[in-house]
């Protein structure tokens, strides 16, 4: 795969693949300042149900204790956008997002919570935790 980086200004391009989005997430990370905890929330997360092919909507919360690097918010938007056409169950998505963030920045502790909007009357909330909380 050819190296791809986000533009410094202008509109955000659509990810070509999940692998490209993972690469950008790691590349755009920056040295961590002296902070104790970082939280990001994406209220417009979408993916595809692997059984029905229908879109699933939800909210993703990422909370972590940085070690040496922090996530850059524009790259997180780009990364999460890559899941728009990704068929996967909510539980699998949550675990993959957590694992990808660990691979990108290796935080001391990480919690990813995905709240899937109810469809058919059932909402799902899944949490994946990596590392140890302080």
- Decide: residue 110, CB within 10 A, 0-12 exposed, 13-18 middle, 19+ buried: buried
* Cα distance between residue 64 and residue 29, in whole Å: 13
- pLDDT at residue 69, rounded to an integer: 97
24 Cα distance to chain centroid? 12
Among candidate residues 3, 56, 99, 100, the one labeled active-site is 56
Active site residue 49: yes
Q: Identify the pLDDT of residue 31.
A: 95
* pLDDT of 11: 75
User: φ and ψ at 83, to 5 degrees?
Assistant: -80, -5
Q: How far is CA 47 from CA 56, 71, 73, 134, in A?
A: 5, 21, 19, 32
20-53 CB burial, b ≥16 within 10 A, e <16: bbbbbbbebbeebeeeeebebebeebbbbeeeee
Is 70 annotated as catalytic? no
Consecutive 10-residue averages of pLDDT for the chain (134 residues): 65 85 93 94 94 93 97 95 92 97 97 92 94 78
Q: What is the pLDDT of residue 18?
A: 92
What is the reported pLDDT for 12? Answer: 77
């Amino acid at each position: 795969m050819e190296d791809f980086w986000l533009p410094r200004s202008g509109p955000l391009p659509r990810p070509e693949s999940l692998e490209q989005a993972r690469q950008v997430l790691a590349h755009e990370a920056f040295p961590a300042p002296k902070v104790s905890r970082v939280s990001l929330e994406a209220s417009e997360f979408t993916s595809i149900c692997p059984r029905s092919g229908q879109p699933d909507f939800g909210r993703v919360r990422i909370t972590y204790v940085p070690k040496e690097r922090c996530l850059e918010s524009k790259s997180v938007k780009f990364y999460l956008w890559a899941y728009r056409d990704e068929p996967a169950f909510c539980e699998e998505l949550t675990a993959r997002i957590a694992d990808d963030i660990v691979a990108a920045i290796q935080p001391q502790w990480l919690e990813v919570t995905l709240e899937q909007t109810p469809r058919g009357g059932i909402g799902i909330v899944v949490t994946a935790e990596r590392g140890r909380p302080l």
